Structure 1
Amino acid sequence: MTPPAHPDDHPAPDGDGSPGPRAHDSRPHGHHSHGQHSHGQHSHGHHAHGPGGTEPDWEALAEHLEREAELGVPFLEAAAAWLHDLLGPREVTRVLDLGSGPGVSTTALAHAFPGAETVAVDSARGLLERARARAAREGLASRVTTREAELPDGLTDLGTAELVWTSNVVHHLGDQRAALETFAGALRPGGVLAVRERGLPARFLPRDIGIGRPGLQARLDAVEEDRFSAMRAELPGHRRVVEDWPALLVAAGLAPTGSRSFLTDLPAPLDPVARTHVRDRLQRSRDNLADSLDAEDLATLDVLLDDASPDGILRRPDVFFLTATTVHTAVRA
C-alpha cells in the first residue's frame, strides 16, 4: 500500500501511507505494492518492517498505525499550523495528504485549512475507511475526501493542490529523487511540499533497565537500520542517494522554505494507551529481529513482554515515550 503516515519508519509518535497509475474515489484498498506506496498517517519506524527487511502488511497494522498517529496529534497540529504560516495569505483551496493511512494527519490538515478540500490518498482500502470515519467523527465529512491510488504513478490522476503533505512515504519508493519530482509536479504555483522524513528514533526505556546488558534500544536501532537498508535495496527502481532532503527538494525544482523538528514527549508513567503501544512495538521487534539478536537481548525482551512481570512494559514505572519528527518544506515558484 501506499505507505501510510503509519508505525514513523522512524516514528514521530511512533506516529501517526504505491505503484501503477490508478486512483479510485473513496474506495479503500487492501494490498500494497512493494515498490511504490504511500502511507500517510502513520509515522512508522523502521520497527514496522517485517522479517528480512520486507514491507509490512499495512492493513493488518491499521489499529497500531491509528493509535501511533493519535499519540502524535500535538505534533501534527503544530506542523499544520507551521505550514499555514508558511503559506501566509495565499488562499488554500486543496490539500493532498499522500500516504494518509488512517487519516489522523488528514484531519489535522483539514482543521488548519478550513477553506480547503483535504484529500486523503492511500492504496490501502481499510485505512481509507478509517480516514473517512475519522473525518465524520470530527465534523469534516463535507471537506475531506479519499482517493485510492498507488504512488507515485497514481498521483497524475489526483489533480493539483496548494499544499502537498507526505509522511514517511518517500523512503518506501525506489527512486526517492524521482518521487519528489513527481510530488512537486502536483503543486500549484506558490504551493508548498511538506515531506516528513526521519528525525530521531523513539526512546521509551532508560539506558540501563536493570536486566540484561545496558543499551538495548541502541542495539535494536542498529539492527532496524540494517533491515531498513535491506528493504530499500529490494525496492523496484532502487537508486541510492544522499538523503539530504533540502538538497533533494532543490533537485526537484523547488525552493526550500525550512525544516523543523517536533518533539513528542510523553513522560513516565505512561498512560495505558501509550504503554500498550510501546509494548506492541517491542513485540514486533522481538518477532522481526529474533534472528539478529543475541540470546541475552532476546531474554531481556521476553522479560519486558511478560505482562505478569514487575519488569514488564505494562507494569514497570519508568516507561516513557520520547521522539523527534522532522518535516522538510519547499515552495514551487
Structure 2
Amino acid sequence: MGAHSHDNIDWDAHLERLRAADDFLAPEIAEVVRRLLLPGDRSVIEIGAGAGGTAAIFVESLAGNGAGAQLTIVDTAEQLLTAAGERASDAADGVAVHTVRADAAADTLAEEIEQAGASPQADLVYAAFVVHHLPDQLAGLRRLASLVKPGGRLAIVEFGLQTRVLPADVGLAEPGLEARLLNAREQWFQQMRAEMEGSVRLPVGWPKAMAQAGLVDTTSFSYLVDRPAPMDESGRAAALRHLAMLRRDAEERVPAEDVSALDQLLDPDSDHYAAHRDDLSYLSASTIHVGTRPA
C-alpha cells in the first residue's frame, strides 16, 4: 500500500492474486474513476500501486482528457511499482506514467515525488485502502492533501461494509461461521493499529478528518460489488481469496471447530472445498471520501 513493509512476500503469487482481483473488480473501479475524474483534469497521483489495475483505468480516462496528461504511481515496493507502471503504460498512448518509490508515512513524500521527476501536485490524489495503515492517519491525510493542486481533490477509499461470500450455514461448525471470522478480522485490525509504532487514534469519521486536514466540500459515496450465486470461476476465485485472508487472522481468535471448518472450505482435496459450491456469492461495499483543497 505504500505505507508499510512488503518483506518476505512471494511476489509472483502476490501479483497473480492482485491481478485477478483487479480483473474481478474492474467494472466497479471503472465507474469510480468515471465519477472522480473531471474533464479538465490532466494529472493524477495514485498512492499504493497494487498490480496496476486502477492505474490503467486512470490512464485510459486521462487519455480522453487531452494532451499533457500524467499519472504518478507511488509505493514502497519496487516489484509492485514495476508491474503497475508497465500495465498503466500499456493502457493508452499520450499519458506520461511516472513510478515513485516512496512511503506515504514519510514527511518527505512530496519531495521524493519531485526528485523522481514527477510533479509533486496533481488535480486528483487517489489512495485506496492506504490511510488506515498509516500510524498517524490525520497527519497522513494532511500529507496527501499537500499533494493536491489548489482546487483539486483528494479521494480516499476505505472500508464500508465487510465482504461476505458464504451462506449463513455452510454445514460445518455452528451457523454463522463467516460472521465469527469477520469479527476475528476486526479484532486483528484493532490490535494491529494499537501495536503499530507511533500509532495515533482517529476518533472521528473520515469526512470530518478530511476537513481537519484542511479540505473543504467533503463528500462521500459508496460502490457496491454484488455478484449473486451462482458465480463464475472468477467470482469463486475471489471468494476463495477472501476466505484465505480471513484464515490468516483466525487461529487464535475463533474456536478450533471454526478453524477446521475454514480449512476444509479452502482445501481443494476436501469434500467441502468452497470452489465446488454453487451457493457462494460476493457482496461488499467500499466508501470513497472526497475533499477539495481550497483554491
Normalized against structure 1, the TM-score is what?
0.78
1:18 maps to 3
1:106 maps to 55
Name which of 9, 12, 17 aligns with 1:64.
Answer: 17
Of structures 1 and 2, the larger Rg is shown by 2
Does the CA contact (< 8 Å) of 1:207 and 1:216 recur in 2?
yes
Name which of 172, 194, 200 aligns with 1:211.
Answer: 172
1:166 maps to 127
2:103 maps to 150
The reply to whether residue 97 of structure 1 matches residue 97 of structure 2 is no
Does the CA contact (< 8 Å) of 2:230 and 2:279 recur in 1?
yes
RMSD (Å) for aligned C-alpha atoms:
2.1
The reply to whether residue 295 of structure 1 matches residue 285 of structure 2 is no
1:241 maps to 202
Structure 2 unmatched runs, 5+: 114-119
Give the Cα separation in 2 of the matches to 1:214 and 1:136.
47
Give the Cα separation in 1 of the matches to 2:129 and 2:245.
19
Give the Cα separation in 1 of the matches to 2:198 and 2:190.
14
When residues 81 and 106 of structure 1 are mapped into structure 2, their CA distance, relative to the original with a 3 A threshold, is same
When residues 167 and 208 of structure 1 are mapped into structure 2, their CA distance, relative to the original with a 3 A threshold, is same
Cα deviation digits, residues 41-74 of structure 1 (max 9, x gap): xxxxxxxxxxxxxxx9484633222222322111
Structure 1 unmatched runs, 5+: 4-16, 20-30, 34-55
Name which of 58, 78, 81 aligns with 2:31.
Answer: 78
Deviation at 1:207, TM superposition (A): 0.9
Higher relative contact order (CA 8 A, sep 6+): 1
The reply to whether residue 183 of structure 1 matches residue 183 of structure 2 is no
Does the CA contact (< 8 Å) of 2:188 and 2:249 recur in 1?
no
Does the CA contact (< 8 Å) of 1:58 and 1:124 recur in 2?
no
Does the CA contact (< 8 Å) of 1:309 and 1:315 recur in 2?
no
Normalized against structure 2, the TM-score is what?
0.88
Give the Cα separation in 1 of the matches to 2:24 and 2:191.
28
Aligned length: 281
Moved more, 167-176 or 67-76: 67-76
When residues 222 and 125 of structure 1 are mapped into structure 2, their CA distance, relative to the original with a 3 A threshold, is same
When residues 214 and 206 of structure 1 are mapped into structure 2, their CA distance, relative to the original with a 3 A threshold, is same
Give the Cα separation in 1 of the matches to 2:269 and 2:180.
25
The reply to whether residue 193 of structure 1 matches residue 142 of structure 2 is no
When residues 269 and 308 of structure 1 are mapped into structure 2, their CA distance, relative to the original with a 3 A threshold, is farther
The reply to whether residue 121 of structure 1 matches residue 71 of structure 2 is no
The reply to whether residue 328 of structure 1 matches residue 282 of structure 2 is no
Does the CA contact (< 8 Å) of 1:180 and 1:252 recur in 2?
yes
Of Structure 1 and Structure 2, the greater helix share is in: 2
Give the Cα separation in 2 of the matches to 1:149 and 1:141.
25
SS in 2 for 1:292: coil
Deviation at 1:293, TM superposition (A): 1.8
Does the CA contact (< 8 Å) of 1:18 and 1:32 recur in 2?
no
Deviation at 1:275, TM superposition (A): 1.5
When residues 254 and 136 of structure 1 are mapped into structure 2, their CA distance, relative to the original with a 3 A threshold, is closer
The reply to whether residue 139 of structure 1 matches residue 92 of structure 2 is yes
Cα deviation digits, residues 185-231 of structure 1 (max 9, x gap): 11111000001011111111111122221111110111111110111
Does the CA contact (< 8 Å) of 1:267 and 1:321 recur in 2?
yes
